[in-house]
Amino acid sequence: MSFPRARTAVAALLVAGATALVSPAHAADGHRALSRFDDGSFETPKAPANAFTNLTTGQTIGPWSITAGNVDLIGAGFWQAAEGDQSLDLNGSTAATVAQSFTTVPGTTYSVTYALAGNPGGGPAVRTGRVLIDGQNFQDFSFDVTGKTRAAMGYVGHQFAFVAQGASTTLSFGSTVAGAYGPVIDNVQVTECKPCCGG
Ligand SMILES: [Ca+2]
């Protein structure tokens, strides 16, 4: 993770933080990559270069499912990605929610990090959304696209932690802004915290 160890240590349940995104994250000491969580970078399937693919409720993006509305999977070159080539606009023609379920160990604390920006092509300045764990709202987010461009998206890193309640956990990202210009997410990572952020 690009988050300092001290920050992670105080990242208790529901305590959220935001820092400037530095680089693609890697597991810090004491964290183990969670093998069953996959493609938080939205790299598969490939959308057309310099374009995007609209996907709607019931369709999938690799391990992610679209559970409400429709999204635009942004192909390489259309705008800057935070990691790899592709990213996800959480509004296609309307607000959407995407979800992925993955294996967890009950009682274990996990850290979720993601990069947030917004579609700079139009719409209201501030894009809003939320992150849910097993359907419960864990973090509201917002991003102001003022001054941002497709070449300089201005991604900001966000983080929160949760304690798994079951052997499977569902992580969801949902837009809460109307219209066709949504928050943009990329580089979602889930790491098991032991022992550094479990307190
Ligand atoms: Ca990506």
The type of residue at 81 is A
* 55 alpha carbon – ligand 1 mean position (Å): 16
- Please answer whether residues 182 and 68 qualify as being in contact, where contact means their C-beta atoms are separated by less than 8 angstroms: no
Alpha-carbon span 56 to 111, nearest angstrom: 28
| pLDDT tens, residue order, the chain (199 aa) | 344 444 433 333 433 444 444 333 344 444 444 458 999 999 999 999 999 999 999 999 999 999 999 999 999 999 999 999 999 999 999 999 999 999 999 999 999 999 999 999 999 999 999 999 999 999 999 999 999 999 999 999 999 999 999 999 999 999 999 999 999 999 999 999 876 554 4
How many angstroms separate the alpha carbon of residue 47 from the centre of ligand 1?
Answer: 11
- From the CA of 81, how far away is ligand 1's center (Å)? 6
58: its two tokens = 């019931």
Tell me the CATH architecture of domain 5-193. Sandwich (2.60)
Domain boundaries, the chain: 5-193
What is the CA(199)–ligand 1 centre distance, in A?
Answer: 31
Yes or no: say if 77 and 103 are a contact pair by the CB < 8 Å rule. no
162 alpha carbon to ligand 1 midpoint, in Å?
23
